[in-house]
């Protein structure tokens, strides 16, 4: 047993060394290409404010559609709200990297007022988990987002998706956020946030309207949000080789309606994000374009579709795709 632990530890140390060397090499290549890294990493508050306002406007419009017309619109509105919940989650992700504003206090305020509580978490808890994903990328025991199994190569992508989406533990995590890990004080803060929102919605539309928002929100969160999050979590790394950053991370389609539905706010530029985690979401397309000038990045896994073709994301889950350049 001790020998197994020693081998595992040695592999882990070697893997972290490889990833650290990759990151250092990428930044060196960027400087050789005269890329202005500091400009790409520059933060601004207005893009985040606009994105938050847009997402909540869409959510409230979807809710009002149900309230003002018929509960039969609940299914359509749940798809819309589930997508925007995923969008809020992606902005929360940027908040965990302190990318929503130039000043840390404003970043924390935006995150803990408009993004974290509706998803039943707080910045502190999300950041702790996400930092571990970057630090321990590809390590089965320490990477909290590790979804990889060599047996996937013998499965269809539908079976992989079904296996993960039916995981009770993953469903609880996506639906209940960080409630189980939070202190009572932070749980009270989340509860207060929901009470204030409920009071506002009651004043605007009556008790039945406010109740309908809760029904819509948690219907979307337990179904659409969970399925989108599961798809995204699988697709970021599964089916690849967890021995390096470039070899274990993929980028997704950079345009199209599915990109906006599955990876809102440029969340599909996952390889670029791991290489340059201090680049805010609205600058990731530019970072991707600049990184494409580096051969090791350009030869990485860049999917040109989600579901169709040899270079689609789902084909990559099963290891049946190849690396491909994508502009």
H helices present in 69-182, as ranges: 74-96, 104-110, 123-135, 157-165, 168-176
Query: What pLDDT, in 10s, does the model give residues 161-178?
Result: 999 999 999 999 999 999
CA 77 – CA 63 distance, rounded (Å): 7
Q: What is the pTM of this model?
A: 0.93
Let me know the angle formed at the C-alpha of 182 by 176 and 188, rounded to the nearest 5 degrees: 90
d(CA 47, CA 281): 9
Range from 76-80, 113-117, 149-153, 252-256 carrying the lowest mean pLDDT:
149-153
Q: Is the pLDDT of residue 11 over 60?
A: no
* Nearest of 95, 100, 110 to residue 56 by alpha carbon: 110
- The per-residue pLDDT for 7 is 33
Tell me, what's the pLDDT at 132? Answer: 94
pLDDT at residue 238 above 50?
Answer: yes
- Write the pLDDT tens digit of every residue in 28-62: 999 999 999 999 999 999 999 999 999 999 999 99
pLDDT at 327: 47
What's the start-to-end Cα distance of the chain, in Å?
Answer: 48
Measured distance CA(151)–CA(168) in Å, rounded: 20
Q: Which residues contact 221 (CB under 8 A, 6 or more apart)?
A: 82, 85, 174, 175
What does residue 43 show for φ and ψ, rounded to 5 degrees? Answer: -95, 155
């Amino acid at each position: 047993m001790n020998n197994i632990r020693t081998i595992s530890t040695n592999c882990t140390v070697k893997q972290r060394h490889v990833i650290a060397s990759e990151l250092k090499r990428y930044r060196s290549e960027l400087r050789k290409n005269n890329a202005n890294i500091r400009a790409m990493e520059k933060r601004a508050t207005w893009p985040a404010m606009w994105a938050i306002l847009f997402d909540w406007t869409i959510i409230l419009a979807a809710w009002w559609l149900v309230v003002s017309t018929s509960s039969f619109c609940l299914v359509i509105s749940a798809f819309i709200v589930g997508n925007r919940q995923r969008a809020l989650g992606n902005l929360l992700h940027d908040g965990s990297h302190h990318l929503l504003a130039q000043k840390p206090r404003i970043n924390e305020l935006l995150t803990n007022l408009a993004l974290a509580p509706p998803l039943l978490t707080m910045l502190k808890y999300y950041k702790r988990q996400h930092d571990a994903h970057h630090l321990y990328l590809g390590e089965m025991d320490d990477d909290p987002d590790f979804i990889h199994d060599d047996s996937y190569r013998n499965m269809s992508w539908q079976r992989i998706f079904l296996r993960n989406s039916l995981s009770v533990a993953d469903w609880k995590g996506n639906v209940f956020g960080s409630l189980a890990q939070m202190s009572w004080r932070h749980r009270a803060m989340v509860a207060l946030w929901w009470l204030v929102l409920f009071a506002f919605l009651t004043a605007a539309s009556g008790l039945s309207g406010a109740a309908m928002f809760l029904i819509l929100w948690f219907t979307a969160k337990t179904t659409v949000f969970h399925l989108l999050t599961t798809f995204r979590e699988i697709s970021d790394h599964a089916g690849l080789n967890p021995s390096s950053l470039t070899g274990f991370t993929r980028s997704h389609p950079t345009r199209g309606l599915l990109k906006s539905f599955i990876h809102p706010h440029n969340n599909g530029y996952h390889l670029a994000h791991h290489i340059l985690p201090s680049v805010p979401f609205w600058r990731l397309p530019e970072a991707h374009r600049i990184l494409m000038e580096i051969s090791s990045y350009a030869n990485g896994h860049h999917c040109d579709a989600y579901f169709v073709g040899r270079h689609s994301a789902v084909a990559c889950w099963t290891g049946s795709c190849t690396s491909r350049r994508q502009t």
